[in-house]
Amino acid sequence: MADATVISEVPRPERGMLRHPSRTYGESALGAVLESFGPQKGPVDLLLLAAMHGDETESTVVLSEALRRVTESAVKNPVVLAVNPDGMMRGTRCNARGVDLNRNWPTSNWSPEPVFHRAHGENGQDIRLSTGDEAASEPETRALLGLVQRLQPRAIISLHTPLGCIDDPDDSALAHWISQETSLPVVPDVGYSTPGSFGSWCAEQRIPILTWELPAEPVTRLLASHVPVLYRLITGAYDAQAGPVDR
Residue 51 has pLDDT above 70, yes or no: yes
Domain boundaries, the chain: 12-244
Q: What pLDDT was estimated at residue 2? A: 41
Residue 50 has pLDDT above 80, yes or no: yes
Distance (Å, rounded) from C-alpha 138 to C-alpha 196? 13
Residue 72 has pLDDT above 90, yes or no: yes
Q: What pLDDT was estimated at residue 8? A: 78
Q: Average per-residue pLDDT in the chain?
A: 92
Confidence of residue 193 (pLDDT cuts 50, 70, 90): confident
HEC secondary structure over the chain? CCCCCCCCECCHHHCCCCCCCEEEEEECCCCCEEEEECCCCCCCCEEEEECCCCCCHHHHHHHHHHHHCECHHHCCCCEECCCCHHHHHHCCCCCCCCECHHHCCCCCCCCCCCEEEECCCCCCEEEEEECCCCCCCCHHHHHHHHHHHHHCCCEEEEEECCEEEEECCCCCHHHHHHHHHHCCCEECCCCCCCCCCHHHHHHHCCCCEEEEEEECCCHHHHHHHHHHHHHHHHHCCEECCCEECCC
Q: What pLDDT was estimated at residue 119? A: 75
Residue 202 has pLDDT above 80, yes or no: yes
Of residues 10 and 245, more confidently modeled:
10
Residue 1 has pLDDT above 90, yes or no: no
Q: What pLDDT was estimated at residue 240? A: 57
Distance (Å, rounded) from C-alpha 178 to C-alpha 129? 32
Q: Average pLDDT, stretch 224-237?
A: 96
Residue 3 has pLDDT above 50, yes or no: no
Residue 6 has pLDDT above 60, yes or no: no
Looking at the DSSP bridge assignments, the partners of residue 239 are 243
Residue 242 has pLDDT above 70, yes or no: no
Distance (Å, rounded) from C-alpha 229 to C-alpha 69? 12
Residue 244 has pLDDT above 90, yes or no: no
Q: What pLDDT was estimated at residue 245? A: 52
Confidence of residue 4 (pLDDT cuts 50, 70, 90): very low
CATH H-level superfamily of 12-244: Zn peptidases (3.40.630.10)
pLDDT, tens digit, for every residue of 102-146? Answer: 999 999 999 999 999 877 766 777 899 999 999 999 999 999 999
pLDDT, tens digit, for every residue of 8-49? Answer: 799 999 999 999 999 999 999 999 999 999 999 999 999 999
Confidence of residue 241 (pLDDT cuts 50, 70, 90): low
CA distances from 164 to 7, 94, 161, 221 (A): 29, 21, 7, 13
Task: State the catalytic residues.
Answer: 213
Distance (Å, rounded) from C-alpha 177 to C-alpha 230? 12
